[in-house]
Structure 1
Amino acid sequence: MAETNSRSQIFAGARVLGYVSTHVPFVSRFIKRRGETLLCTSVGKWFHTYGCDKFRLLSVSGEHPGPITCMSGDSFHVYTASENDIYAWRRGCELKHVYKGHQAPVHKILPFGVHIITIDEDNVLKIFDIKDESEFLDLRFETKHFQITTICHPPTYLNKILLGSKQGQLQLWNIRTSKLVHTFTGWNSRVVVTEPAPAIDVVAIALANGKIILHNIRYDQIVMEFVHDWGTVTSLSFRMDGAPIMVTGSVKGNLVMWDLEEKKVMSQIQSAHYSSVAGLQCLSSEPLMVTNSQDNSLKMWIFDMPDGGARLLKKREGHSLPPNLVRYCEPTGENILAAGKDSSLHILNTVTETFNKSMGRATKNKKASKKKKKHQVDNHMLPAITQLSSCMQRDKQWDSIASLHENKYLASTWSYNNICMGKHILKPPEVEKGVIATCLTVTHCGNFVIIGYSNGQVHKFNMQSGIYRGHYGKQNTGAHKGALRGVETDLCNQRVITAGADDKLKFWHFKDAAAPYHVLRLEESVNMTKCHRDSGLLALANEDFTITLVDIDTMNIVRRFEGHVGKINDIDFDCQSRWLVSTSMDCTICTWDIPSGQLVDIFSVEQPCTSLSMSPTGDFLASTHVGELGVFLWANKLLYDKVFLRPVDRNAIDVPRLKLPSTAAEKPDIEDIGVIDLNEEVEYKSPEQISEELLTLSGQPTSRWLNLLNLDIVKRRNKPKTSLTVSKSAPFFLPTIPSLELEFDLEKDKLNSEKKLLMSESLSTLTPFAKKLNACENYTEYKECLEKLKTLSPSSIEAEVTSMAPDVGGTIDVMKQFLKMIDVLLKSNRDFELAQSYLSLFLKMHTKTISENAELRETLESVEQSATEAWSKLQSHLLYNICVVKALKDM
């Protein structure tokens, strides 16, 4: 029977980087208490909350059972729809309500006072009460006659909503009476957007045929009409800062500003997004506009251009197409380079999302791309990045990153320091038609980049100047007879290693490039290479799904790993070159132990991993996957947990399938929300005593008990040099209890009043504390007396203990009761330091009286026995800890 394993021995999902937005329109909410507008964007099964002030990520919601289909919000909640249910969130991460009842996925949500209105794909409109989650109304529409596509609430129209349809008609409904108020004939084209205008009774209606109509719904008349020539309108908004401007976004990613007074186009922004503009919202009372798109970006624009147009102010963006390359680029392990099919290069920070940067898109002519006008298409863009290599040794002086592009012979450079594309395009002097660059590497010193081509040639370029510096092998035949599959250099720039499709591994001197000094024949064709320069190990991923390990110092094959059943996509060493991590199209990620030559960990993922990279510090494994826009981080469990690695037989176990990491920590599924208490958690209170066997301190400040034996010295030291003068008529005030908090001693007045009423009590010379102590019989009563002592100042405690003697108004019984209180306190193992301090003060004050009285001596013997047991227990624990610490130091 196969052994089962539910998780990876080494890696655990941490989080995902690079997600910003999807096709779902964002939600903007002005929070009066913060004085800031918050933006909520969907990222699949979660949504992010950003602040407009600094455009930084504030919170991440819990996971939904499926992708979020639509979002909305009011001043209290953010509402999200996933599958057939609607969820209400507070503070962006606290789930408060779940609304069930729909039998189809929900695609429209509108908060409406104390209700929310939802519409599903079956053309059913439901209204829910927000607080009690009850269903208030259910309206069903016939799809053939009126299929709902939009919903809005015209201001000042009490209890009324306006619905747009696929047929082009509009209907005004009173949801309180559930009656149809009016039907607008429409324009025989699908209604895609309805947005109330700042003017009363006017609603902007965008149609699928490109028309934008400002319609007066009170009189059913057209106010003005526009024709949108830049694709179908997907979003629409009005400036709310007093300017008569309407802004529209289209499926082509364009933004158009319309002047409503002049009834014409005022300005436009071509290719504001690389994909359709999903959401567009002008902020209230500010010349600002926010847009989001399916290209994984969220952008803020400001209206300060001379022509009244907008310019980009802030942005948060990730890859618009799935990345296929990921590489750690710094020794600190905090930043990752990610390259995607969208030709862009991004820097992703593993510590905070605020430091994520986009280095732009690759272009053949950087100057021409900058001079390109807004309405022109950039024809200089390069295709997707296929290979990436970097070295940060000279990053401050010149470009430090080099990349290859799909089906191109040229290579581009990038500046990590300036966060932009470099100024060099590297290409050999003579290139045959159809030749493409297949592999490259940047030397460890950062001065050179070596590139291999499909015709078997290997060329060297200078990174600082971009000048061609020669080739390896003969000019005509090249370094190999077939295409280059890999090129690597050693740590000291003394050797160059090339692997070709001719199944040969050649070793070259870095400077003497005429002929290789050693050739190693391989049994299998090489698909890709990876070199760990510090250890001198070279890994070859072969086309038969095996991995070969070569020692470049001895030029021999030292290890061979077999286990993958699909094309190997990427390989990488860990920082100490003890592990080799590989991934293939069989959806598995394997970790091989190099010293033992064994497979020590394997797990599978939902989507095949296209690229991976181990952190230089060994804390994370970064990976990219097919169809995913993010970069996923896997934590190394050996850094925080005890893990004992052993060889794994892939054929004898069930390979564990791990879920891809999410944007937040793992949380319970939303489907189980019915059993989760949504009320506020009870604040945890520490118990008074963890265990009765342990000694517990009181926590009182040392000024209350440490100097009780030396109060006479303290008083002498603090005695004023000049005598205090008392005013003739001192103002009346209530007596207070000496403590850290201001509290009035109300018991004093109560006792004074009792003294006036009870003449027998007035003859007593005992203090109120002594009377209370004299009446104690059990632990609870003794504890109350102790709590009273804790509130007194050191001088008051000394006065109370001194007044217990018979010669100053006390009694022997009170002294016995005080000793019993100390005895009970020592046996309970609580307030250990107070018991020792109070006992020392009592013995100092009443030594003579105790020696003359037999009853006090008998009581004191019991106290002595309890104190001895407590001290011996404390001494044994201290000595044991000292011995353990000393033994650890001597190891």
Structure 2
Amino acid sequence: MEKPSHIFTGFRALGFISNHVPLCVRYNQQHKENYVVTCVGKAFHIYNCSRLGLVSVSDVHPEPITCTAVDGIYVYTAYNDVIQAFTRGRKVKHTYRGHENNIRLMMPFGHHLISVDEASCVKVWDINSEEVFLDLQFDNTSFEITTMVHPNTYLNKVLFGSSQGTLQLWNLLKNKQLYNFTGWNLAVTTLEQAPAIDVIAVGLADGRVVLHNIRYDETLITFTQDWGPVTAISFRTDGYPIMVTGSTLGHIAVWNLEEKRLQSQMRQCHNSVVWIFDMPDGGGRLLNQRTGHSAPPSRVRYYGNQGDVILSAGQDSTLHSFSTLHESKNRSLGRASYNKKQSKKSGLKLDKYMMPPVTAFTAEPSRQSDWDSIVTCHRGEKLVMTWNYQRSTMGVHKLIHERFQDVITYKNVSAQCVDISSCGNFAVIGYSSGHVDLFNIQSGIHRGTYGNPTAHKGSVRGIAIDGLNQTTVTGGADQYVRFWKFKSKQLLDAHELPSQVAQILLHRESSMLAVALDSFDIIIMDTDTRRIVREFTGHHNSVTDMSFSADSRWLVTSSMDASVRTWDLPTGRLIDCFLVDGAVTSLTLSPTSDFLVTTHVDDLGVYLWSNMTLYTHVSLKPLPLDYEPYTIDMPSSGAISKEAIKDDEDELNLYEVASFKSPEQIADELERNKPKEPPKVPKVAPFFLPTIPGLQPQFAPVGEDEDLNEFHLQTRSRVIKGNFQHLSEFVKTLHNAASTNDFRPVVAFLKEMGPSAIDAELQSLAPEGGGSIELMGDFLIFINEMLKTNKNFELIQAYLGLFLKLHGDTLSREPSLIQRAKRIQIIQQETWHRIQDLFNQSSCLVTYVKSATM
């Protein structure tokens, strides 16, 4: 199957911390550290509790994870009806299959693992052998299992809770029910072992927490929380008689067991991760947290020119900064608020000062140390906010023109687009009323208005300032793109387009302006000449975002048709296209061109795609007009821990062997290194050494006076007789070898040349370099014949790779060269299959020797 994309491949996903699947906590005896295991869909993350640093990320599961469990050795995950045991946080050690329904509960039980599916089928697995030790089937109508716990000191016994409210105690070794607890006629939501022996904490659906003695079937004490069902219960084990319960609303209650009362409460804690209980009233305070977007991000942009910081605005009205280097550098700039102080007092849930989601933002770090460097527009709002990146908070200014105080006239007006000048001093804002205003970011003072009274008759859809603060470009729903003097606000030029402008994007270094239209077409304009230079068609739905590459050679666009297209501006052709599962809402290319960043509809992640052209040669031939794109797999979350990488390297070092050399290569090296004759004293050379013209630098011979005189006569003459095209020694050697079908002199000639000389010679093979199609064909014949000899394989591959990099476009247009390239492809496939067979044979032999000696 053809690759979905020739340029981009999935790298990793950012912004995922945890989802609805309950997290697990494990203690590592060797590291003396607690670790938190969180689920993020099809993978799980492991964080240390001391700094909440990301330790490792698992491999991607085929389906979303439904539940997790941990013990001292493994992390257990379940998806659908399959269970996997991971070691080192990411390697699958065991796989358990046998359930017929989706698994929803798991619990390690000594050397066994207990799992429960949606049909209340209980299986007890032997962890090492992966065999089923015990199989129990319950009827959901009478006893639907909702939770389970292993009571301390109760050997081989497990207590099951049900949605009917009853409890059952089972001896799994004897496959026997020991006792049935009548319960409290309400669904049991959670069970937890108390520090006291025989006491189990039972959480109920009505918010009650019952401490029950299962030995005598007696209730010791009952607490009630008013926040709905009990979702979690935990006890302090450091000597304090404290029980903590959680609710579906995200509130936490702290109960004093000795005094039998509510000690304290913490509200709206679900957005945080780790709390420390050191408050005077026995309550907890936030110790550390890892947060991402709680609603899908709607816009992403790189911050600065280093290519390691990504700004993301989400539908949760928050602004986040993600680092491509390490998770510890991620930070939240906060949530947009009309009144930040009042928002802190009211809390996240009851915040009536929260602003609508960010629809557009722009950033310029050139003056970030002096004042705010980010400006945001909000859905349905005339008010434009500033943000400070260094302080990671909202800025001091709220930008709005005094005309909008007329609420009746401008009732439904909102800020649509914004841009910051390259100097970082000014922000220009476009509104749905057609107004365009200029503000000073440092002071927040209004500095002028474009147009009289408006810049466009319809909504302003896009706005941009050039790199020298000379020109401001605006695009509107009135089908016009207008050019204004930045300082005097005078109209310079206007272009009417065939459709309404959806958005514009300016590449300041090249002055290229991309204009997306409501007709799904894209137009490229040169802002210096103010002319249309390219037109791109191909999207079948609204264009959602655009991004230029750093050298302005590529334009990457996304659309609601779920496609991402890469356009080559010099040729005006589509060179790459792929589909994604969810339509891209925003994208941006790194200033260093190493990553493409995307966000998607109904997706919380920020996805990184690696640019493969930086690491390997990619032939980017134009795609046909009827090209059907393929769907690409989304990247998985997170990066691999350094510890895991080190373990892999140590394992690989055990099998490291020296590179193989054939006897012919060894003999050839010895022959080339052998001195041919004793060294001689060099002759005295003239001050100016005459040279012979050509790609290969050569000095003119000075041994014979006649030759030297003849050379001087030729160099002094202004009239050159004979053929103007000079054939280098390499071209002559290649041409002679093609006629004799003996290419050994060509290999010997190339071995004596340096990398730059080889590059120059291969460039001269093409017609534009002074060569011809026939010479290029001779070189492919040379590659073909040398591959047949099975000698100098790596060297020939290097020559072929350089040739394809230099002349890939020419080769793709010539049928004769394509035929010869196909022959090379066949030989390479045959060679690789032969090598692969040898690899497999050696691998089997090594595996057999290892198993026989263990």
> TM-score, normalization: structure 2?
0.76
Q: Deviations over 1:452-481 (max 9, x none)?
A: 11111111222122222232223xx42211
Greater shift, 540-549 or 498-507, is seen at 498-507
Counterpart position of 1:354: 328
Counterpart position of 1:555: 530
Counterpart position of 1:303: 277
Q: Find 2:418's aligned residue among 440, 446, 451.
A: 440
Tell whether the 8 Å contact from 1:245 to 1:259 is kept in structure 2 after alignment.
yes
Instruction: Tell me whether 1:12 sits opposite 2:9 in the alignment.
Output: yes
Counterpart position of 1:367: 341
Instruction: Tell me whether 1:29 sits opposite 2:26 in the alignment.
Output: yes
Distance across 2 between alignment mates of 1:828 and 1:889: 23
Instruction: Tell me whether 1:252 sits opposite 2:249 in the alignment.
Output: yes
Distance across 2 between alignment mates of 1:470 and 1:418: 29
Q: Find 1:454's aligned residue among 409, 420, 432.
A: 432
The within-5 A match list for 1:373-388 is 373=346, 377-388=350-361
Distance across 2 between alignment mates of 1:682 and 1:107: 41
Distance across 2 between alignment mates of 1:374 and 1:202: 36
Counterpart position of 2:175: 178
Counterpart position of 1:497: 473
Tell whether the 8 Å contact from 2:205 to 2:228 is kept in structure 1 after alignment.
no
Counterpart position of 1:756: none
Question: What is the identity, as a one-letter code, of the residue corresponding to 1:76?
Answer: I
**SS at structure 1 position matched to 2:456:** coil
The structural deviation recorded for 1:664 is 5.9
**SS at structure 1 position matched to 2:365:** coil
Distance across 2 between alignment mates of 1:272 and 1:472: 47
Counterpart position of 2:566: 591
The within-5 A match list for 1:48-447 is 48-274=45-271, 299-370=273-344, 372-373=345-346, 377-431=350-404, 432-447=410-425
Q: Deviations over 1:24-47 (max 9, x none)?
A: 111211111111112111111111
Counterpart position of 1:582: 557
**SS at structure 1 position matched to 2:491:** coil
Distance across 2 between alignment mates of 1:81 and 1:439: 45
Q: Deviations over 1:678-717 (max 9, x none)?
A: xx88931425964334559xxxxxxxxxxxxxxxxxxxxx
Tell whether the 8 Å contact from 2:43 to 2:59 is kept in structure 1 after alignment.
yes
Question: What is the identity, as a one-letter code, of the residue corresponding to 1:40?
Answer: V
Distance across 1 between alignment mates of 2:528 and 2:659: 66
Counterpart position of 2:606: 631
The structural deviation recorded for 1:273 is 2.1
Distance across 1 between alignment mates of 2:191 and 2:390: 46
Tell whether the 8 Å contact from 1:548 to 1:561 is kept in structure 2 after alignment.
yes
Greater shift, 625-634 or 416-425, is seen at 416-425
**SS at structure 2 position matched to 1:439:** strand
User: Could you say if the C-alpha distance between residues 533 and 180 of structure 1 is closer, same or farther in structure 2, counting changes exceeding 3 Å?
Assistant: same
User: Could you say if the C-alpha distance between residues 376 and 383 of structure 1 is closer, same or farther in structure 2, counting changes exceeding 3 Å?
Assistant: closer
Instruction: Tell me whether 1:506 sits opposite 2:482 in the alignment.
Output: yes
The structural deviation recorded for 1:373 is 4.9
**SS at structure 1 position matched to 2:343:** helix
Distance across 2 between alignment mates of 1:688 and 1:408: 66
The structural deviation recorded for 1:135 is 0.4
Give the unaligned 5+ runs of structure 2. 405-409, 641-650, 675-745, 762-854
User: Could you say if the C-alpha distance between residues 890 and 209 of structure 1 is closer, same or farther in structure 2, counting changes exceeding 3 Å?
Assistant: closer
User: Could you say if the C-alpha distance between residues 374 and 380 of structure 1 is closer, same or farther in structure 2, counting changes exceeding 3 Å?
Assistant: closer
Distance across 2 between alignment mates of 1:490 and 1:79: 55
Q: Find 1:644's aligned residue among 606, 619, 622.
A: 619
**SS at structure 2 position matched to 1:67:** coil
Tell whether the 8 Å contact from 2:56 to 2:639 is kept in structure 1 after alignment.
no
The structural deviation recorded for 1:386 is 0.7
Counterpart position of 1:568: 543
Q: Deviations over 1:428-450 (max 9, x none)?
A: 21212111111111111111111
Tell whether the 8 Å contact from 2:57 to 2:637 is kept in structure 1 after alignment.
yes
The structural deviation recorded for 1:332 is 0.7
Counterpart position of 1:539: 514
Question: What is the identity, as a one-letter code, of the residue corresponding to 1:661?
Answer: P
User: Could you say if the C-alpha distance between residues 185 and 510 of structure 1 is closer, same or farther in structure 2, counting changes exceeding 3 Å?
Assistant: same
**SS at structure 2 position matched to 1:423:** strand
Tell whether the 8 Å contact from 1:71 to 1:81 is kept in structure 2 after alignment.
yes
User: Could you say if the C-alpha distance between residues 376 and 499 of structure 1 is closer, same or farther in structure 2, counting changes exceeding 3 Å?
Assistant: closer
Question: What is the identity, as a one-letter code, of the residue corresponding to 1:212?
Answer: V
Question: What is the identity, as a one-letter code, of the residue corresponding to 1:340?
Answer: G
Question: What is the identity, as a one-letter code, of the residue corresponding to 1:532?
Answer: H
Q: Deviations over 1:833-890 (max 9, x none)?
A: 9xxxxxxxxxxxxxxxxxxxxxxxxxxxxxxxxxxxxxxxxxx999986643684699
The structural deviation recorded for 1:645 is 1.5
Give the unaligned 5+ runs of structure 1. 275-297, 667-679, 697-826, 834-875
Question: What is the identity, as a one-letter code, of the residue corresponding to 2:353?
Answer: H
Tell whether the 8 Å contact from 1:506 to 1:518 is kept in structure 2 after alignment.
yes
Distance across 2 between alignment mates of 1:564 and 1:421: 37
Distance across 1 between alignment mates of 2:87 and 2:349: 44
The structural deviation recorded for 1:346 is 0.9
**SS at structure 1 position matched to 2:290:** strand
**SS at structure 1 position matched to 2:359:** strand
Aligned length, in residue pairs: 674
Question: What is the identity, as a one-letter code, of the residue corresponding to 1:884?
Answer: G
Distance across 1 between alignment mates of 2:511 and 2:239: 68
Tell whether the 8 Å contact from 1:28 to 1:40 is kept in structure 2 after alignment.
yes
Distance across 1 between alignment mates of 2:4 and 2:168: 55
The structural deviation recorded for 1:562 is 0.4
Counterpart position of 2:846: none
Counterpart position of 2:662: 691
Distance across 1 between alignment mates of 2:566 and 2:756: 40
Tell whether the 8 Å contact from 2:45 to 2:58 is kept in structure 1 after alignment.
yes
Instruction: Tell me whether 1:884 sits opposite 2:780 in the alignment.
Output: no
Counterpart position of 1:655: 629
User: Could you say if the C-alpha distance between residues 539 and 685 of structure 1 is closer, same or farther in structure 2, counting changes exceeding 3 Å?
Assistant: closer
**SS at structure 2 position matched to 1:136:** strand
Question: What is the identity, as a one-letter code, of the residue corresponding to 1:322?
Answer: P
Tell whether the 8 Å contact from 1:258 to 1:265 is kept in structure 2 after alignment.
yes
Structure with greater Cα Rg? 1
Q: Find 2:445's aligned residue among 467, 482, 505.
A: 467
The structural deviation recorded for 1:203 is 1.0
The structural deviation recorded for 1:15 is 1.2
Distance across 1 between alignment mates of 2:658 and 2:419: 62
Q: CA RMSD in A?
A: 2.5
Counterpart position of 1:707: none
Tell whether the 8 Å contact from 1:692 to 1:828 is kept in structure 2 after alignment.
no
